Amino acid sequence: MAAKKGWEKIRWAGAHMPLHAEIKKRFEKERPFSGRRIGTALHLEAKTANLILTLHAGGAELFVIGSNPLSTQDAVAQALAEVEGITVAARHGEPEEERRGNIDRLIDFSPHLIVEDGGDVAWRLHEREGSCPKLIGICEETTTGVERLRTLEREGRLRVPAIAVNDAKMKHLFDNRYGTGQSTWDAIMRATNLLVAGKTVLIVGYGWCGKGLALRAKGLGARVLVCEIDPVKAVEAAMEGCEVVELREGMARADFVITATGRPGVIGEEELKVAKHGQVLANAGHFGYEIDREALGRLAKKRYQARAGVEAYVLPHGRTVYLLGEGELVNLALGDGHPVEIMDVSFALQALSAEYLLQNGESLSPGVYPVPERIDETVARLFLSVLS
Ligand code: ADE
């Protein structure tokens, strides 16, 4: 029954992913992944399932795990598990220990290629000496994951070539900005059912994701405050009509606070102490550590479940704040993630980068590489033909 619902979601997404349809048709004919094993650690929802089915159509055998326990959709996972040649080890809400076990199982699958979101598998396999002897390369989806790969590279520990899919123009300019912008607000509005127009929103971090969050907040009629430590990005925010503020001032004024910095503990005890009553706290960054949940728990006189996905914390000053989706990335913890067409583009880059890496990876030395310009432009042309 659950699998049937999963297939419904996968088919709906697939019907709106024309780039994947095109790539899948070619892969079915050319079978570029024949005899290859691919491990994926991605947010396991319907669009991701379409990427996995595209890689499968190209002849790959796959081992599939999630990227975050709260983003895994069980119906989708169960549907995929019905496909021969695809092993799924992921379930919604899996405890940390189980997820760690699944990462190790993926590594033991000895993939030729890893396609991931966040860098947990890449990090772990570099801790396990001698693991993944057949590995040719890694394709990484996010800003956070690319940063972790660069750390491995800087420390001279990176063992294989890795493609920074996040850094492709067709990825960060659209997925991070318009994808995060729309899907984060979608999840916040679904979870709270609260009005945004006329309210004050604080965006913490003005990278590509922060820009998208601010843009959509303005479109919804909010007053937008931005806190950004990089002075150049702060100027950009000001020129784009946002009010640049110190973090504590923003916390005292905002009805909604959204973090998108990639940094741990950005909203800590000092910031929470001045939070406005009724404030909704949400995180749009990859890891659920930007809002310090432990500090919230320590400070709270009382906490309770206010609504599905909404935890209320009554702080010592008597004010209540609401944390969404346990502080994990809210668009996937409480929603379906980015819009379908956005992920069609981002995952088209993944599929073509995977093909490129399997064909060329053995002649590349370990290091972080950009997506070849040719692939970025192919995806742009394909998407343009869809848009026009
Ligand atoms: N769906 C699958 N992967 C996603 C991602 N990285 N961000 C948003 N939605 C997604």
Domain ranges of the chain: 2-173+338-387, 180-333
Is the Cβ atom of 165 under 6 angstroms away from ligand 1? no
- Residue 40's Cβ-count burial label (10 Å; 0-12, 13-18, 19+) is buried
The CA distance from 348 to 375, in Å, is 9
The CA distance from 226 to 232, in Å, is 13
Name residues of the chain where pLDDT drops below 50. none
Q: Using alpha carbons only, what angle is made at residue 263 by residues 287 and 196, rounded to the nearest 5 degrees? A: 75
Is the Cβ atom of 47 under 6 angstroms away from ligand 1? yes
- Quote the pLDDT of residue 317: 86
Which residues touch 155 (CB under 8 Å, ≥6 apart)? none
Is the Cβ atom of 141 under 6 angstroms away from ligand 1? yes
- Helical H segments across the chain, by residue range: 2-15, 18-30, 46-57, 74-81, 96-108, 120-127, 143-154, 169-171, 180-192, 208-219, 231-239, 247-253, 269-273, 293-299, 330-333, 340-360, 373-387
Sign of CA dihedral 231, 232, 238, 242: negative
- Do the first three CATH levels of 2-173+338-387 and 180-333 match, i.e. the same topology? yes
Q: How far is the CA of 338 from the centre of ligand 1 (A)?
A: 6
- Quote the pLDDT of residue 235: 98
Q: Which residue, chain included where needed, has tokens 């979601």? A: 9
Q: What is the pLDDT of residues 346-380, one digit of tens each?
A: 999 999 999 999 999 999 999 999 999 999 999 99
- Quote the pLDDT of residue 142: 94
* Nearest CA residue ID for atom 3, ligand 1: 43
- Quote the pLDDT of residue 387: 85
Among 10, 17, 42, 345, residue to substitute to test ligand 1 (most atoms within 8 Å of Cβ) = 42
Residue 153 contacts residue 359 (beta carbons within 8 Å): no
* Nearest CA residue ID for atom 2, ligand 1: 43
Is the Cβ atom of 228 under 6 angstroms away from ligand 1? no
Q: How far is the CA of 23 from the centre of ligand 1 (A)?
A: 19
- Quote the pLDDT of residue 40: 98
Is the Cβ atom of 45 under 6 angstroms away from ligand 1? yes
Residue 61 contacts residue 85 (beta carbons within 8 Å): yes
Among 10, 40, 48, 350, residue to substitute to test ligand 1 (most atoms within 8 Å of Cβ) = 48
- Quote the pLDDT of residue 388: 81
- Quote the pLDDT of residue 386: 87
Is the Cβ atom of 117 under 6 angstroms away from ligand 1? yes
The CA distance from 225 to 247, in Å, is 10
- For the 2-173+338-387 domain, the top CATH level (class) is alpha beta
Residue 46 contacts residue 9 (beta carbons within 8 Å): yes
Q: How far is the CA of 301 from the centre of ligand 1 (A)?
A: 35
List Cα–Cα distances, 4 to 44, 72, 359, in angstroms: 16, 16, 36
Q: How far is the CA of 78 from the centre of ligand 1 (A)?
A: 19
Among 332, 334, 345, 347, residue to substitute to test ligand 1 (most atoms within 8 Å of Cβ) = 332
Tokens of 309: 């996905």
- Quote the pLDDT of residue 329: 97
Is the Cβ atom of 42 under 6 angstroms away from ligand 1? yes
CA-nearest of 285, 281, 197, 289 to 247 is 281
DSSP 160: S
- For the 180-333 domain, the top CATH level (class) is alpha beta
Q: How far is the CA of 43 from the centre of ligand 1 (A)?
A: 6
Which residues touch 325 (CB under 8 Å, ≥6 apart)? 70, 187, 191, 282, 283, 309, 333, 334
- Quote the pLDDT of residue 130: 93
The CA distance from 19 to 386, in Å, is 8
Evaluate if pTM is beyond 0.75.
Answer: yes
